[in-house]
Amino acid sequence: MLNGRDVTGRNRAADQLRHDTLHDPLTGLPNRLLLVERVQATIAAAGEDRRQSFAIAYIDLDGFKSVNDIFGHAAGDELLRQVAQRLGSVLRIPHRDRPVREVRGPKRPPAADTLARIGGDEFLALLNHVDHIVGAIRAAERLQESLRAPFEIEGREVRVSASIGVSLGPAQYQLADELIRDADIAMYRAKTSGQTRPQLFDQDMHTDMAQRLALQSELRAACERDEFSLRFQPIVDTLSGLLVGFEALVRWNHPTRGLLLPTVFIEAAEEARLMLFLGRLVLRRTCHQLRDWLYRWSDLPSGVMSVNMSALELSQPDAAAYLQQVLQDAGIPGRLLKIEITESVAIKDPALAVAFCKDARALGVTVGVDDFGTGYSSLAYLRRFDIDFLKVDRSLVQDADVSSESASILSATVALADALGLTVVFEGVETPGQLAHLRRYPRTLVQGYLISHPLPDDQAWAWLTTGRAPAGTTTGACAADELATSA
């Protein structure tokens, strides 16, 4: 007698469970788990024949967060579904009615390409049978090109682009995660370099990324150990040569590399999400330095110290309240302080900038626009900001004495500032020719290495109280003395 039972339903349930475990519920694409499985099988199948090339393309959407923020998550989900369809349309992926069987062992790599969504706005593509570097890059370019046309989301046209990094196998790779990691590193290079084409991984990228991660780790430790200090760069009047104040600049007292400039670590600080900490640290330290000076000189000049405020600081809901609290904690009047907001930040969110300028000025703080000339400010915007000064970006100063075009831009900037009753500060002055040209303009101030390098607090105090640059401090001190003498 034979006994039997139908296990079809149980097998179907098991297959469905495996499918659900290995696929993204939003797009229906394979997920990271299945992609890794297929890549590992492809590596294993290559065996000793390392000439059979394949590649991983790491795809990260640019501008996707804005879609979520502006139109909502439902629109973002629809965009991701459409992006998945576009990307899949340029890959060698079988029709859904004839799916490739899922890999169940290390010796059964997929015959076609695989597109996977690994989370958020990130996708991975396994590109099989590419003809070495050229084929991999061309495939990545097709992926990028597929997103060029606008998407229609809820009756609106939406545009997104993608940063793509590519790693090529099998080469030395033994693990799928290593291939994916290197494609991710190449994608990061594509995104941060501002280039619009896919980037192929090379070993230098790995070295750079390792150094960046190490620097970020050191930065976090530096924040805990309080390894940061301030330097103060003098700002002088172009006509009289007299000192009018300083800009506070942060320095990192690195335990082995010495005193580091912000250009070395600011980008790493942004990536490590430490900019709010650093920005507020500079503000607090600056205000306490002013308190020490005020204690020694009760008639300390107004606007004697400038501090740059980052976009992250300005975007905090309590930005003005925090400024007020710091002034109160330091026990100093707001009139001693100048706040510089970069032009790009002011233009990106004018309402936020206008509100902060109003609140800061109510505290007696002077407010200005930094890096002016690098964005697209208009007269209307500047009038709304209710500011006191413009700081012209160094890129416009560098060749002002030799370029008629740059000179014309500076003349227009000064005329605009004069019409609005604003003071102009030229930063990055490094040559006598630049200084000679800038002295043609009224109501202007200058700072830069020609005048003085940033100074420690004791040398800044000496200059402030004596009216002359401290002897022997920097090469720029001589230029400052000459400026004062010739005025």
CA distance 406 to 238: 19
| Domain hosting residue 392, numbered range | 216-486
- The pLDDT confidence band at residue 105, using thresholds 50, 70 and 90, is very low
For residue 91, pLDDT beyond 70: yes
Q: Are residues 194 and 221 in the same domain?
A: no
Q: Are residues 262 and 115 in the same domain?
A: no
pLDDT of 483 reads 54
- The pLDDT confidence band at residue 284, using thresholds 50, 70 and 90, is very high
Does residue 4 lie within any of the structural domains? no
CA distance 327 to 307: 13
As a whole number, the mean pLDDT across the chain is 85
Write the DSSP string, 285-299: HHHHHHHHHHHH-TT
- The pLDDT confidence band at residue 13, using thresholds 50, 70 and 90, is low
Q: Are residues 329 and 463 in the same domain?
A: yes
Does residue 480 lie within any of the structural domains? yes
pLDDT of 487 reads 46
**Mean pLDDT throughout 2-31?**
73
Note the Cα 378 to chain centre separation in Å: 24
For residue 31, pLDDT beyond 60: yes
Tell me whether residue 404 is exposed, middle or buried, using C-beta atoms within 10 angstroms of its C-beta: 0 to 12, 13 to 18, 19 or more: exposed
- The pLDDT confidence band at residue 2, using thresholds 50, 70 and 90, is low
- Report the DSSP beta bridge partners of residue 152: 157
Q: Which amino acid is at 60?
A: D
Does residue 207 lie within any of the structural domains? no
Q: Are residues 177 and 227 in the same domain?
A: no
CA distance 440 to 272: 44
For residue 100, pLDDT beyond 70: no
Nearest one of 343, 354, 338 to 306, comparing CA atoms = 338
Cβ neighbors of 456 (< 8 A, separation 6 or more) are: 231, 232
For residue 171, pLDDT beyond 50: yes
Nearest one of 24, 18, 21, 41 to 176, comparing CA atoms = 41
CA distance 448 to 366: 21
- The pLDDT confidence band at residue 474, using thresholds 50, 70 and 90, is low
Does residue 12 lie within any of the structural domains? no
CA pseudo-torsion sign 376, 378, 383, 384: negative
- The pLDDT confidence band at residue 376, using thresholds 50, 70 and 90, is low
pLDDT of 50 reads 57
Domain boundary among 201, 231, 262: 201
**Helical spans, DSSP H, in 378-448:** 379-385, 394-397, 404-420, 432-438
Residue corresponding to tokens 């590399």: 257
Give the chain's domain count: 2
Cβ atoms of 136 and 170 closer than 8 Å: no
Q: Which amino acid is at 414?
A: V
Q: What is the pLDDT of residues 412-424, one digit of tens each?
A: 888 888 888 889 9
Q: Are residues 251 and 112 in the same domain?
A: no
Domain boundary among 138, 172, 201: 201
Residue corresponding to tokens 């200058």: 446
E strand or H helix that includes residue 309: strand 305-309
Note the Cα 176 to chain centre separation in Å: 30
Nearest one of 443, 449, 437 to 478, comparing CA atoms = 449
pLDDT of 260 reads 92
Q: Are residues 420 and 368 in the same domain?
A: yes
Length of the chain: 487
CA distance 276 to 286: 15
Between helix 8-22 and helix 32-46 the angle, nearest 10°, is: 90
**Mean pLDDT throughout 87-99?**
71
Q: Are residues 191 and 231 in the same domain?
A: no
Q: Rounded to the nearest 5°, which phi and psi values hold at 470?
A: -60, 135
For residue 290, pLDDT beyond 60: yes
pLDDT of 202 reads 84
- The pLDDT confidence band at residue 48, using thresholds 50, 70 and 90, is low
CA pseudo-torsion sign 84, 88, 94, 95: positive
Element counts in the chain: helices (H) and strands (E): 19, 16
CA pseudo-torsion sign 477, 479, 480, 484: positive
pLDDT of 104 reads 46
- The pLDDT confidence band at residue 145, using thresholds 50, 70 and 90, is very high
pLDDT of 106 reads 45
Q: What is the pLDDT of residues 432-470, one digit of tens each?
A: 999 998 988 877 899 999 999 999 999 999 999 987 777
Cβ atoms of 455 and 474 closer than 8 Å: yes
Q: Are residues 341 and 460 in the same domain?
A: yes
3-state secondary structure 388-400: CEEEECHHHHCCC
Q: What is the pLDDT of residues 206-261, one digit of tens each?
A: 788 788 888 889 999 999 999 999 999 999 998 888 999 999 999 999 999 999 99
Does residue 6 lie within any of the structural domains? no
User: What's the CATH number where 386 sits?
Assistant: 3.20.20.450
User: What's the CATH number where 113 sits?
Assistant: 3.30.70.270
Q: Are residues 196 and 229 in the same domain?
A: no
Domain boundary among 154, 169, 201: 201
Q: Are residues 122 and 223 in the same domain?
A: no
Q: Are residues 250 and 148 in the same domain?
A: no
Does residue 210 lie within any of the structural domains? no
Does residue 331 lie within any of the structural domains? yes
Whether this prediction's pTM lies above 0.85 is answered by no
**Mean pLDDT throughout 55-80?**
89
DSSP E strands: which ranges in 159-217? 161-169, 199-200
SS3 161: strand
Q: Are residues 193 and 237 in the same domain?
A: no
Does residue 96 lie within any of the structural domains? yes
For residue 165, count other CB atoms closer than 10 A to its CB.
25
Q: What is the pLDDT of residues 108-135, one digit of tens each?
A: 667 789 999 998 899 999 998 787 788 8
For residue 92, count other CB atoms closer than 10 A to its CB.
14
Cβ atoms of 389 and 306 closer than 8 Å: no
pLDDT of 9 reads 60
pLDDT of 372 reads 80
CA distance 265 to 263: 6
Task: Report the half-sphere exposure of 326 (CA within 13 A, side-chain side).
Answer: 23
CA distance 73 to 442: 53
For residue 67, pLDDT beyond 90: no
Q: What is the pLDDT of residues 293-335, one digit of tens each?
A: 999 998 899 999 999 998 889 889 999 999 999 999 999 999 9
CA distance 351 to 368: 16
**Mean pLDDT throughout 9-28?**
76
